[in-house]
Chain A
Amino acid sequence: MTEDLVWRIAGGSGDGIDSTSQNFAKALMRAGLHVFTHRHYPSRIRGGHTYVEVRASEDPVNSRGNGYNCLLALGDSFARNPKENAIYGNEEIKPLAENLDELNEGGIIIYDEGLVDVSEVPNFEARAEENNWHVYPMDLRSLAREHGREVMRNTAGVGVTAALLDIDLTYIEELMRSAMGGDVLEANLDILQEAYDIISEEEFTHDLRVPTGDHDEDQLLISASACIAYGALDEGCRFISGYPMTPWTEVFTIMSQNLSQFGGISEQVEDEIAAAALAIGASHAGVKAMSGSSGGGFALMGEPLGLAEMTETPVVLIEAMRAGPSTGMPTKPEQSDLESILYSSQGDSNRIVFAPGNAAEAYDQTREAFRIAYEYQIPSIIVIDQKVSGEMVNVDESFFDREPNPDLGSVLTEDEIAEAAHHESGKFKRFLHDTENGVSPRTIPGQKGGRFLAAGNEHSEEGHISEDPVNRINQMARRAQKLDSIREDLDSQESSNQTTFGPEDAEYGIITWGSQQGAVIDAVSTLNDAGHSVKGLGVSDLMPFPKNDLAAFLESVDKAIVVEMNATGQFRGLARKELGLYGEKMSSLLKFDGNPFIPRDIVTAFEETIVEGKDDVSNERTKYLPEAGVTQ
């Protein structure tokens, strides 16, 4: 089996690491490979320890994999003073020093000797020898300066990588031609070729070569954030309102940059309360609308979220989680907002929550979230995190070849309004008690004869404020009934939002939700290869909870580990609350150090706890919670 390439480019934020890695990934994708990128960046604008990994394989890839095998360490230009040779701290060696721990044995190191002084890296030579690393120092900075500007050393690094791994430069050149022009393009092309040629003349000591691949279909390199934006646009969303906050800003930016082309409206507003309220206002007036935020900003949305629930105004909110509490770690992923998403807002409140596990699911479930929100007049929340929102992966182009759906759901036309139930005063019965599935028909302001009051207070069928006990029970029952109807609706769809993998009759299970799905898929496959009997379940429907899917899965296995990125096992808690059973079967593997699971974390934990029966795991960066709770 050919080894996957996992290439890591490291340097300072603001040095073009992101764009360089995207182009590199795209070039490999165009060459026929499956690709996956993983981003790591600090909460600062320029400088600091930043890297992006690009994994490329002949087979589909689900995760970043375990460690990496080729490092391109550029200098961090922002760690230096503008004055020549003025260096503060040790940041300049970070692109090299900080990345060595995860470099696999036998890996390749290319570093910019024009900026990085290897003698300052602790024990570098000894470690290189011990791990059989193949080290290629190159003066990328001088090469870039010679033909253009220092910042072009990224291009030089890509040229060196291409030569070392036997990658055809054609695809890279093509991408450069489409992205730039004139002198800049010429300079970059020169640098690329020269770097390629210079290193080609050296003797290579490594044997890693880029695998070959061949797609059946045209591919797209895409992130979950883009998929959410495109899913929303294809579902007819034409209004977005927001306030910038990492990592939600990615969805907001993509929507804002493209919405006007579709004749839609984007509003950046004063705060997150306003943002969610604007989406509700637009939706009330008859437009498909969305808003969103990240942890702290979403906390402010609790208030309008409750209003949307009470007034039965459809709206879609995105919650792009990051490590908390409070402002936490802004650029680091975590899955610790689950309980806040499920329960924020006062009262017995209902909402729909989806947590897609990868980019393609993000597209599907965004469309589903809009469909459900508008059909059932209820807010839908799509939960992602910094990991899945930013990682790029290739998806078949044909996957997106689908018809738009501008349907506003259960909205009446004026002709239908004339036939519908009205109070004798002429007021439309917007919140009619007796409906088939809990959904009462809706009108849009400006329609003749459809007048009603949307009230955040408990209200009568016409919307007037009412504290009548019988009306209260009827309205509460009807709103709650919608969740049952939606569960039935989701269960009756051709494809489930839950993702299963591994042998059906496996002895053990690994359950996860949202963004950690890819790492679990890879872990399950590694475990089965090693002779264990394990299957996996990636859950996306968090509310209404997919009781049947979860119960069937837990029923079929002896034990299950729930893998999630938080410190308290929030999903396991939800599953126990919803199922009331199987507590003795579920243990938790948790991680909350700001770095997502890699498959090896899960494999090791499985072997140590389930197979060897230990009470804890050896990896100090993960935490194990044994099964708990009395059942039956």
Chain B
Amino acid sequence: MSVFSAIGEEREIDSNEFTPGIEPQATWCPGCGDFGVLKSLKQAMPEVGRSPDEVLMVTGIGCSGKLSSYFESYGFHTLHGRSLPIARAAKLANPGLEVIAAGGDGDGYGIGGNHFMHTARENHDMTYIVFNNEIFGLTKGQTSPTSPKGHKSKTQPHGSAKDPVRPLSLALASGASYIARTAAVNPNQAKEIIKEAIEHDGFAHIDFLTQCPTWNKDARQYVPYVDIQQSDDYDFDIHDRREAADMMFEAENALHEGEVLTGRFYVDDDRPSYQQEKQATGEMPEEPLAERYFDEDYEWERTADSLLARHK
């Protein structure tokens, strides 16, 4: 048995286990889309069979960053944009952990954009949920990387001159092996997508559309939505990179025009995860590295035994 006995434990898991017993009610505003992410996530966990003690939830900061406070598991509430490098190292240190990273659109596509690109490129086996409400919420309503062109805010009084970031296309170009978009207004789809993302062996990116009733006044901005898998209008092969790219391009254009296309956009089940690649090159042990520190029988090698001869 593992020294981390929570990992791989087989038992019935209740979604209520993921509700913290001590945190006061969330500080999210009434009607906030972030509640939808939390709810779908809690519902997905029992279905993937993971318990709170074997999950590491790593978040950035801002409203979305508070997810680690309202979701009961091991958590790391990091810095603005820095959830991914912390999450992926934790996964390398102990691949048995279920590592989920989460942050907002400013966090993930702005300040953390570099980490997003490289974590996707490396295809770390983890799930990354980006709460995309097209606004900076907790700093009171500034234009974000996903805000539409022309968006006016206190810091962009003349309206944004920038085209918004295309999160799905960015994830695909960077190398993510599972890419989906869902919305807080669509909890059933969201739960299924979170479940698939967690079970996917590789970097799973979810662009999670969450309405901000306070700073993006139209709280129903993502309604009505279209589920592309349920619609006859969208027929494409989600395993084909080129077709997926076209579909993402269409969905991103449509969103700028007020049409919300959600669903799975790209799935590559064949690509090995980064952990598998690292193990194949001999740069990563087969057994979880973290376990070694608790293994009393493990023989720690000294540099004197192997490295010093070259200095003689």
User: Taking beta carbons and an 8 Å cutoff, which residues of A are in contact with B?
Assistant: 26, 30, 218-222, 226, 230, 233-234, 236, 238-239, 241, 258, 260-267, 269-271, 273-275, 277-282, 284-289, 303-304, 307, 311, 397, 400-404, 406, 408, 411, 413-414, 423-427, 444-457, 462-465
Contact = CB atoms under 8 A, between A and B. Distances in A.
B77 A446 contact: no
Given A233-B303, A234-B302, A274 B85 contact: yes
A238 B86 contact: no
Contacts of A287: 93-94, 289-290, 293
B35 interface: no
B53 interface: yes
B302 A285 contact: no
Contact of B89 (A230, A236, A278, A402): A278
B282 interface: yes
B304 A264 contact: no
A22 B10 CA distance: 58
Contacts of A258: 307
B79 A452 contact: no
B86 A218 contact: no
Contact of A445 (B74, B282, B294, B307): B74
A325 B206 CA distance: 42
A464 B22 contact: yes
Contacts of B28: none
B302 A427 contact: no
19 contacts: A220-B312, A226-B311, A239-B92, A258-B307, A266-B283, A278-B85, A281-B86, A281-B88, A286-B290, A287-B289, A288-B293, A307-B78, A402-B304, A425-B20, A425-B21, A444-B4, A446-B4, A455-B77, A456-B79
Given A286-B93, A447-B5, A273 B82 contact: yes
Sorted from nearest, which 4 A-B pairs have the closest CB atoms? A425-B21, A446-B4, A281-B89, A286-B290
A525 B85 CA distance: 50
B90 A445 contact: yes
Interface string B295-312: 000101111101110011
- For chain B, the bracket of interface size reads 35 or more
A17 B221 CA distance: 67
Contact of A454 (B4, B77, B278, B312): B77
Interface string B46-61: 0000001110101001
A450 B74 CA distance: 8
B61 A456 contact: yes
A452 B82 CA distance: 19
Given A286-B293, A446-B7, A446-B96, A222 B23 contact: no
B303 A444 contact: no
A270 B118 contact: yes
B170 interface: no
Contacts of A279: 89
A273 B78 CA distance: 12
Contacts of B96: 446
Contacts of B53: 445-451
Contact of B90 (A220, A241, A284): A284
B239 interface: no
A453 B69 contact: yes
Nearest to A411: B293
B82 to A, nearest CB: 5
B94 A445 contact: yes
Nearest to A401: B304
A265 B278 contact: yes
A273 B94 CA distance: 21
Given A285-B56, A406-B292, A426-B21, A446 B97 contact: yes
Contacts of A30: 312
B73 interface: yes
B45 to A, nearest CB: 14
Contacts of A400: 303-304, 308
A239 B86 contact: no
Identify the interface centre among B93, B115, B289: most chain A CB within 10 Å of its CB.
B93
A279 B90 CA distance: 9
Given A285-B94, A446-B97, A239 B289 contact: yes
A457 B27 CA distance: 15
Nearest to A374: B293
Contacts of B93: 239, 265, 281-282, 285-287, 289
B300 A236 contact: yes
B115 A270 contact: yes
A448 B87 contact: no
B293 A285 contact: no
B205 to A, nearest CB: 17
A426 B302 CA distance: 40
Contacts of B76: 281, 284, 311, 453-455
A225 to B, nearest CB: 12
B31 interface: no
Contacts of B9: 448
Contacts of A267: 89, 92
B247 to A, nearest CB: 28
A264 B289 CA distance: 7
Contact of A238 (B4, B88, B89, B292): B292
B259 to A, nearest CB: 34
